[in-house]
Amino acid sequence: MSETQREGLVVRRYGGFYYVFTGEAVLACKLRGKIRDQVVTGDRVVITVLGTGTGVVEKVLPRRTELVRPRIANVDKVFIVFSCNCPEPSLVLLDRLLVLASCHGLYPYIVLNKCDLDPAPRAVDIIDYYPRAGYKLILTSAVNGEGIDEVVKEVEGSISVLAGPSGVGKSSLLNAVFPDRYLPTQEISEKTGRGRHTTRHVELFSLENGGWIADTPGFSVMDLPRMKREDLARHFIEFEPLAAYCRFADCLHYQEENCAVKESVSRGEIAQFRYQNYCSFLGEVIEAERCYR
């Protein structure tokens, strides 16, 4: 690289500019015309510094990971945020997001926000089952500060993303992590029980410990990633160690006999709702396979 070139991290895209952190400052950059690939938040790039806080993006460096919804690159960890109540969490959406994180090789955390409220029945299911299945669960409250320090500690040294539906308090969590910054929040609609989107773009915020955390637009529907039917079970972490005890090596844990996963469900070790979500997802994967042929 020349003396005027720097490597940097894209922390935000807004108004046609790419805001790049170089380790010293955030520069507002335009793209060099030869760049054809779409540059997204989280990309590592090479820029030419023009002075007066501006620059030009010359090159996009290879990505380690990439998410499509939300669109962000080079993420290490994903914090899947739901609320204990108002709105009640969706176990189907939670499992979809856990599958997505696993498919992208990301370490997932389940965050139950608004733990100052009485937990709804599905929140109780999350608290009772998912840590036992092997997932990391953090209870947080943007109101009283519970769990905020734990989130900050887990983000250290990584690029992390908050993901989850609208209205669960992702922006409120970030306001608790960064009390000197204000991110707009919205109340839950009395008519629908859902939150309205308050985040309009993906932006990375830096922590004093060197980590980065992103707020993302909320969403409520997500398609499963394309995969083979045999691959789905390994994205349900409590299924994996049981597969070796199934009668068939290629067991789908659906209609086969002598299936260790189904036996575990019958004993109550695997939650019925979790297995039902798996079967529903399996049907989607099989149908998608037919469409791709």
Closest by Cα among 87, 124, 133 to 275:
133
Query: Residues forming the annotated binding site for GTP?
Result: 113-116, 164-172
* E strand intervals along 32-177: 44-51, 54-60, 66-67, 72-73, 77-83, 107-113, 136-139, 159-163
Tell me the H-state helices in the chain: 91-103, 121-133, 148-155, 170-177, 260-266, 272-292
Side-chain half-sphere exposure of 252, counting CA atoms within 13 A: 14
The 10 Å Cβ neighbour count of residue 135 is 17
End-to-end distance of the chain based on CA atoms, in angstroms? Answer: 46
Query: Residues forming the annotated binding site for Zn(2+)?
Result: 246, 251, 253, 259
CA angle 275, 218, 238 (to 5 degrees): 20
Helix (H, G, I), strand (E, B) or coil at 135: coil
Distance CA 194, CA 161 (A): 21
Query: Residues forming the annotated binding site?
Result: 113-116, 164-172, 246, 251, 253, 259
CA angle 118, 221, 111 (to 5 degrees): 35
The 10 Å Cβ neighbour count of residue 128 is 10
